């Protein structure tokens, strides 16, 4: 009888400890994790539309309770979406560039009736039409009756390399040719919207800044784009982030090895175990930089106010405050606060292209946070065509 009493007391103690820990975590989750995204943008019509017509930006973001840590969001976001979201069906077109290079454009969502425009998607570092987040963006485009076209950087998508040059964060002139090609194919009357993810977002931002009012993209969204490459590269070298950097370096080595005819120090490339080591061994040399640090300085957009001032197409940058590759302090908040065309939306959590929600985050593609942001943002701008860059050009001419 005494043993039974002791057992009951011990069980109650364990239950009390478990209840206390649960209560503490719930309090932490509600107070420190669940928050409204921070919106940074200059005063004007663009900000007003974001505040009034994009409700997801005004609502609290509820990360998956058992997956709030940034690296878990980053890894599990990719794994779960890849496993549970159906792959896209697509048709491929190959575009030959002015220097003889070629890139692949993969079209999805076609054949759904009269499309009202095109959504051009730029995947991340070595991404393609098969990337998990592309499925989310294609779902948003389908809801908006937009055709989706996924841009594969030269050397990716299984195409042979026809020039001795691959791609990097500064390869926005390739994008400019592709944008012109899509415009000519679909006509100037249809809106051309663009989403860049991670490296794709950085290339897209460079394109918009370089071309200013002459850009042929009407509105853009950048997701988890490393706008400050120097700070992002330093962050990837810290703590557990090095594991993610090692994984990315492995993907980069595989992408380059597919083009063995390139001139490179293959021993150094094979020995690279981080993104910085890969960029020092290959990217910097391949594009004429003396070091990885010089390449990072050239690729960085933060603190280059004159570049961001040139952006005339509405640009929304979705960046989690805990992104392991883009610390909150590295975001161009001051630049965005002075801009009427560039806005930052910064959820407190989300990792790098993670943004998981709900107890079971493997939701259908159109319900994913990235999809909802894209759908509501572009829907708001399509309802206000006067804010699109093409309308601004017509107004200026008239």
pLDDT value, residue 9: 55
Per the CB < 8 A criterion, the answer to whether 293 and 275 are in contact is no
Q: Determine whether 128 is an active site residue.
A: no
- The 10 Å Cβ neighbour count of residue 165 is 16
Question: For residues 192 and 105, is the Cβ–Cβ distance under 8 A?
Answer: no
Nearest Cα residue to 279 out of 295, 298, 264, 266: 295
Closest CA to 221 of 84, 108, 316, 95: 316
Q: What is the DSSP string of 18-51?
A: HHHHHHHHHHHIIIII-BPPEEE--SSHHHHHHH
pLDDT of residue 24: 87
Burial pattern 324-345, b for ≥16 Cβ within 10 A else e, equals: bbbbeebbbeebbeebebbbbb
Token pair in block for residue 205: 């931002």
Annotated domain spans of the chain: 54-228+304-390, 231-299
**Token duo for residue 242:** 């090095």
Catalytic residue among 274, 322, 352, 371: 352
Q: How many CA atoms lie within 13 A of 200 on its CB side?
A: 27
386 is a catalytic site residue: no
Q: Which CA distances in Å does 320 have to 71, 82, 214, 372?
A: 12, 21, 30, 15
Environment class of 261 (CB within 10 Å of its CB; exposed 0-12, middle 13-18, buried 19+): exposed
pTM value?
0.93
Token duo for residue 249: 């370096």
**What is the number of other CB atoms lying within 10 angstroms of the CB of residue 360?**
11
Closest-CA residue to 181 (of 142, 173, 310): 173
In angstroms, how far is the first alpha carbon of the chain from the final one?
Answer: 94
Catalytic-role residue among 323, 348, 371, 390: 323
Per-residue pLDDT tens listing for the chain (398 residues): 556 555 555 666 667 766 677 788 888 889 999 999 999 999 999 999 999 999 999 999 999 999 999 999 999 999 999 999 999 999 999 999 999 999 999 999 755 567 889 999 999 999 999 999 999 999 999 999 999 999 999 999 888 899 999 999 999 999 999 999 999 988 777 899 999 999 999 999 999 999 999 999 999 999 999 999 999 999 999 999 999 999 999 999 999 998 988 889 999 999 999 999 999 999 999 999 999 999 999 999 866 556 677 889 999 999 999 999 988 888 988 889 999 999 999 999 999 999 999 988 888 999 999 999 999 999 999 999 999 977 655 544 43
Q: What is the pLDDT of residues 331-351, one digit of tens each?
A: 988 889 999 999 999 999 999
pLDDT given for residue 110 in this prediction:
59
Domain 54-228+304-390: which topology?
Rossmann fold (3.40.50)
Dist. CA 376–CA 140, nearest whole Å: 9
Angle CA(372)–CA(375)–CA(381) in degrees, nearest 5?
135
What pLDDT score does 396 carry? Answer: 47
Active-site position among 198, 224, 235, 339: 198
130 is catalytic: no
Which DSSP string corresponds to 292-342?
HHHHHHHH--TT-HHHHHT--S-EEEE--TT-TTS-GGGS-HHHHHT-SSE
């Amino acid at each position: 009888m005494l043993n039974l009493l002791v057992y009951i007391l011990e069980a109650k103690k364990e239950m009390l400890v478990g209840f206390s820990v649960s209560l503490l975590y719930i309090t932490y989750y509600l107070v420190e994790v669940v928050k409204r995204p921070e919106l940074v943008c200059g005063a004007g019509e663009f900000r007003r539309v974001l505040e009034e017509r994009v409700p997801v930006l005004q609502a609290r973001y509820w990360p998956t309770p058992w997956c709030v840590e940034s690296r878990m969001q980053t890894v599990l976001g990719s794994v779960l979406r890849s496993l549970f979201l159906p792959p896209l069906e697509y048709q491929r077109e190959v575009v030959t560039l002015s220097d003889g290079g070629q890139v692949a454009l993969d079209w999805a969502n076609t054949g759904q009736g009269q499309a009202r425009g095109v959504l051009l998607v730029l995947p991340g570092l070595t991404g393609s039409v098969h990337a998990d987040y592309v499925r989310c963006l294609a779902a948003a485009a389908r809801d908006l009756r937009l055709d989706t076209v996924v841009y594969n950087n030269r050397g990716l998508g299984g195409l042979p390399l026809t020039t001795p040059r691959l791609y990097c964060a500064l390869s926005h002139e390739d994008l400019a040719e592709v944008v012109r090609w899509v415009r000519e194919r679909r006509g100037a009357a249809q809106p051309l919207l663009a989403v860049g993810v991670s490296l794709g977002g950085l290339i897209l931002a460079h394109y918009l800044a370089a071309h200013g009012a002459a850009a042929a993209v009407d509105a853009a969204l950048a997701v988890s784009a490393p706008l400050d490459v120097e700070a992002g590269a330093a962050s990837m070298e810290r703590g557990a982030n090095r594991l993610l950097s090692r994984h990315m370096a492995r993907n980069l080595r595989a992408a380059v090895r597919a083009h063995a005819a390139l001139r490179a120090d293959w021993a150094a490339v094979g020995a690279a175990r981080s993104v910085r080591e890969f960029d020092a061994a290959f990217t910097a040399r391949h594009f004429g930089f003396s070091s990885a640090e010089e390449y990072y300085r050239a690729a960085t957009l933060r603190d280059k106010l004159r570049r961001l001032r040139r952006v005339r197409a509405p640009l929304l940058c979705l960046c989690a405050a805990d992104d392991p590759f883009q610390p909150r302090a590295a975001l161009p908040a001051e630049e965005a606060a002075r801009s009427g065309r560039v806005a930052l939306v910064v959820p407190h959590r989300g990792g790098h292209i993670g943004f998981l929600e709900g107890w079971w985050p493997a939701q259908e593609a159109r319900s994913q946070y990235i999809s909802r942001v894209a759908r509501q943002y572009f829907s708001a701008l399509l309802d206000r065509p006067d804010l699109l860059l093409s309308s601004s050009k017509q107004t200026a001419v008239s």
